[in-house]
Amino acid sequence: MTDVALSIFLVLSGVTVVEGGRECQNNQSLMGEYISHTNLIELCQSNAARAGHDLQHVLRHEMVHAVQENLNLTRAAIPEPLLTWLVRGYLTDSEVMTVLAMYDEKDIDQEFEARLLALLPNWLIGSLLWTSEQHQRFVSGQRMLPAPWEILPVQAIAWDYPY
Q: Is residue 150 part of a domain?
A: no
Residue-averaged pLDDT of the chain: 91
Q: Is residue 14 part of a domain?
A: yes
Please say if the pLDDT value at position 26 is more than 90.
yes
Q: Is residue 23 part of a domain?
A: yes
What's the pLDDT score for residue 146?
85
Closest alpha carbon to 34 in 49, 17, 47: 17
What's the pLDDT score for residue 157?
55
Taking only the tens place, the pLDDT of each residue in 37-51 is 899 999 999 999 999
What's the pLDDT score for residue 150?
79
Q: Is residue 91 part of a domain?
A: yes
Domain count, the chain: 1
Question: How far is CA 114 from its chain centroid?
Answer: 7
Region 13-18: mean pLDDT is: 93
Please say if the pLDDT value at position 82 is more than 90.
yes
Q: Is residue 125 part of a domain?
A: yes
Q: Is residue 39 part of a domain?
A: yes
Structural domain boundaries, residue 109: 4-145
Please say if the pLDDT value at position 163 is more than 60.
no
Q: Is residue 158 part of a domain?
A: no
Q: Is residue 64 part of a domain?
A: yes
Alpha helices in 13-147 (DSSP H): 22-26, 45-51, 55-70, 82-90, 93-102, 108-117, 122-139
More confident residue, 146 or 67: 67
Taking only the tens place, the pLDDT of each residue in 98-134 is 999 999 999 999 999 999 999 999 989 999 999 999 9
